[in-house]
Amino acid sequence: MGKIMLGLMCLVALGFSAQEQEYAPRISFKDIVQSQVGVVKKVMDLNEKVDELQKALAKLQKEHEQTYAKISQLENELSSKKTTTKPQEGQVNVPSSYIDLIDQAKSWVK
């Protein structure tokens, strides 16, 4: 009796496994090729985006260098003006735009 039950259980197990294989999805060569084509397209799109980003980065680096050069030039000019123009005792260096404002304020007081 035990051998018969064991045999029936084996048949039932084989039947279930056969049903699972029957409903298992089948992957064809065409499916594999289509998925690879999709991957290649995505990689090509990413390469284009990387190229655009590299160009933008190069442009930003160039602008940064130009800005840095201008700032260095302005710092050099400022330091040269500080060393060449020494205020006399009792006098203060005031930019010309402030002098105009001071003159205007003096005229209002009068």
Domain boundaries, the chain: 28-80
Question: What is the model's pTM?
Answer: 0.45
Cα dist. 76→22, 67, 92, 94, 97 in Å? 82, 14, 22, 20, 22
d(CA 110, CA 104): 10
| Residue 9 pLDDT level (bands cut at 50, 70, 90) | confident
Give residue 28's pLDDT.
85
Q: What is the pLDDT of residues 43-97, one digit of tens each?
A: 999 999 999 999 999 999 999 999 999 998 988 888 887 776 555 555 666 666 7
More confident residue, 5 or 90: 5
Whether residue 85 contacts residue 93, with contact meaning beta carbons closer than 8 Å, is answered with yes
Cα dist. 67→16, 72, 88, 103 in Å? 74, 9, 35, 36
Mean pLDDT across 2-21: 73
